[in-house]
Structure 1
Amino acid sequence: MSALFSPITIRSIQLKNRIVVSPMCQYSSENGFTNDWHLVHLGSRAVGGAGLIITEAAAISPEGRISPHDLGIWKDEHIAGLKRITQFINQQGAVAGIQLAHAGRKASHHRPWDGGKAIAPTEEKGWETVAPSPIPFTETEPIPLELTTEGIHNVLADFQDATRRSVEAGFQVAEIHAAHGYLLHQFLSPLSNQRTDNYGGSFDNRIRLLLEVIERVQTVWPEEYPLFVRISATDWTEGGWTADDSVALATVLKTKGVDVIDCSTGGNVAKAKIPVGPGYQVEFAERVKQEAGILTAAVGLITTVEQAEEILESGQADFILMAREFLRDPYFPLHAAHTLGDEIAWPAQYERAKPR
């Protein structure tokens, strides 16, 4: 059996392989609700053989959405639609995961295909954004409100409530989104966090909110279910969050009961120079894995079977997260198994198309 198709058990949950559908915003919700698009989008990747399917960023509050069309989990009415999806994913032998998120200062934007620009609070469908400090993501965007102590308490309560709903909806993996320049990443990075209270300044203060979120999530998240955290391992900008910081953070998170660090990069500096190329973020997953001694997931322009297998075989990471390649090929795992010579089960309905 190849490394890519080796099963792994985390806590009580077994994943049939190391292929994970990475969260991919679809910007196709109304008032946070799922619809047929989400069922088919996520369900087809489960049919395609992925071991774990993680939803796009699910907003823990209306003001935590990137756009007015984001998926949401801020009210109980969202549970039924999500449960329909988790049940279908489970029927395919896959595990359903949810990414819990708050966009912070990067909230209140149009969808990419509608231009992607910030929507001012005074505009239709716009709202006031919040951040650790009143620093906009770009100079042309509205200045966010600095989160008060009460606002921070509300964020913590929202993460806890969203986690409870996630359990009721049938998710068995939760990922806390602390990457890509969204709220928790904004607190981590000194470029976006210039607070002088207990949530700003020192490394310990800047990671405080993330640790408090994890603590609140764990009050309702079953102990037998895995907990992931997605980080941006570097800001790619001098004076920002660094790979050294990521190793230090991962070392702390391991002691707090986090099972997997999902290693992405960037997103907090609009003009950061990022050396994008095949597997350009894998080195960070490798370093965090080796130095913090925790399971890691590699993500970022991983597009071929051979590339994915090499990352796992060489011990650089424990999971392969794919996004764009899954948009091109929902059945990547089925094709990958054939390429690697692994014998895996196909859906009975597709069995007649299985390569012999």
Structure 2
Amino acid sequence: MAPMTRSFSPHNVPSDQVVEYYRRRAAGGLGLIITEGTTINHIAAHGYPNVPNFHGEQALEAWRKVANAVHAEGGKIAPQLWHVGAARRPGTEPGGQTPGFSPSGMFMPGKITGHAMTKDDIDEVVQAYAQAAKDAQQAGFDAIEIHAAHGYLIDQFFWAGTNQREDEYGGDMAARGRFAQEIVSAIRAAVGPDFAIILRWSQWKQQAYDARLVETPEALAEFIQPLADAGVDIFHCSTRRFWQPEFESSNLNLAGWVKKLTGKATITVGSVGLSDEFLPESANAGFKEASPVNFDELVERMENNEFDLVALGRSVIANPDWPKLVQAGKFDQLKPYEKRYLESLV
């Protein structure tokens, strides 16, 4: 299950309804659940209301219940650890009027709207990620995922458009990746060698769907290998359409290229089993409705070892038991995704 923001955690604490939401999907046959984005313990981490914390006694106890419920159904679970960076809207609680933090104070290229992080800020955020990962391990989770995609904080460091720093965290791709490498290294030191670290990243940004961090396989290798060396076990390669080749030289998608270059396990994602991509051309219009379609190409790519895992989003909002239905060949029972499903947790 792919991470999907649901915003059903009043006071930033997962409710019993959230516990049941994840339990039901584990019961439906999902092998690994990656939770919605959960915010680390930093004053500027939050960007949206009713998003759950991954810190504080109440929130951690609630997440322990989620992990236990998923395990009782035979599933595995990882929290997605999140800092929104410059996407923060001042006034969001917790944090109040704290501005968005980012490498250069920019959410959009060329427009400073928030706080450019100091070295002390960077160190504080790195340690907050490490503490959240350690808390996840102690709460019984099976892995953690670092949200480094879609134009949020870590991706704002990756992207030259929002990273105009002139210190060791800005400049070429290696320098822009330093912040993420430090986070991964700090997490690895906190959790030891045998706890899985997943990193989700993307070429596209919510600020610019056509943005690209790398244009060639060679540039991708330069970007991704230091993250693998720092301790990432699995790369979750976020694309809007899993079937699209990443580079002209091959039919491999982004997850396929990352696996080929690093030898690490990868997760593919992007409109799996659905008739339309998950976002329209305007980000304000919300997730697109879509009907089930066959996924013969997905199976073929999987059998060719292009990637190791497949993440489902809208499909398992509409169909909590999607894996069991597909395994049984009951394709006619798969329901289309409709926007109304976002109005409640079912």
Band the TM-score falls in, shorter-chain normalisation: 0.7 to 0.9
Aligned residue in 2 for 1:129: 100
> In the alignment, does 2:23 pair up with 1:43?
yes
- Using a 3 Å threshold, how does the CA distance of structure 1 residues 35 and 237 change in structure 2: closer, same or farther? closer
Report the AA paired with residue 133 of structure 1: S
Aligned residue in 1 for 2:232: 258
TM-score (norm 1): 0.77
Where structure 2 has 5 or more consecutive residues not aligned to the other structure, the ranges are 247-251, 274-293, 332-346
What is the CA-CA distance between 1:227 and the residue it aligns to? Answer: 1.1
Report the AA paired with residue 131 of structure 1: S
Deviates more, 1:169-178 or 1:220-229: 220-229
1-side partners of 2:14 and 2:211: how far apart? 40
SS of residue matched to 2:26: helix
Aligned residue in 2 for 1:311: 301
> What RMSD over aligned residues (CA atoms) do the two structures have, in Å?
2.6
1-side partners of 2:220 and 2:162: how far apart? 16
2-side partners of 1:43 and 1:56: how far apart? 14
SS of residue matched to 2:12: coil
Instruction: Work out whether residues 247 and 287 of structure 1, in 8 Å CA contact, stay in contact via their aligned partners in 2.
Output: no
What is the CA-CA distance between 1:211 and the residue it aligns to? Answer: 0.6
Q: What is the aligned-residue identity percentage?
A: 24
Report the AA paired with residue 316 of structure 1: E
Written as runs of structure 1 = structure 2, the 5 A alignment for 1:1-356 is 21-61=1-41, 62-108=43-89, 119=90, 126-137=97-108, 143-234=113-204, 240-244=212-216, 245-265=219-239, 277=241, 279-280=243-244, 283-303=253-273, 304-339=294-329
SS of residue matched to 2:237: strand
- Using a 3 Å threshold, how does the CA distance of structure 1 residues 308 and 239 change in structure 2: closer, same or farther? closer
- Using a 3 Å threshold, how does the CA distance of structure 1 residues 237 and 335 change in structure 2: closer, same or farther? closer
SS of residue matched to 2:108: coil
What is the CA-CA distance between 1:337 and the residue it aligns to? Answer: 1.0
SS of residue matched to 1:263: strand
Give the number of the structure with larger relative contact order, counting CA–CA contacts within 8 Å between residues 6 or more apart: 1
- Using a 3 Å threshold, how does the CA distance of structure 1 residues 51 and 239 change in structure 2: closer, same or farther? closer
1-side partners of 2:197 and 2:191: how far apart? 9
SS of residue matched to 1:57: strand
SS of residue matched to 1:179: strand
Instruction: Work out whether residues 126 and 186 of structure 2, in 8 Å CA contact, stay in contact via their aligned partners in 1.
Output: yes
Instruction: Work out whether residues 305 and 339 of structure 1, in 8 Å CA contact, stay in contact via their aligned partners in 2.
Output: no
SS of residue matched to 1:176: strand
2-side partners of 1:194 and 1:150: how far apart? 18
SS of residue matched to 2:106: coil
Instruction: Work out whether residues 98 and 173 of structure 1, in 8 Å CA contact, stay in contact via their aligned partners in 2.
Output: yes
TM-score (norm 2): 0.79
Aligned residue in 2 for 1:350: none
2-side partners of 1:137 and 1:327: how far apart? 31
What is the CA-CA distance between 1:58 and the residue it aligns to? Answer: 0.8
Report the AA paired with residue 257 of structure 1: G
Instruction: Work out whether residues 49 and 92 of structure 2, in 8 Å CA contact, stay in contact via their aligned partners in 1.
Output: no
Where structure 1 has 5 or more consecutive residues not aligned to the other structure, the ranges are 1-20, 109-118, 266-275, 342-356
Report the AA paired with residue 322 of structure 1: L
2-side partners of 1:83 and 1:194: how far apart? 40
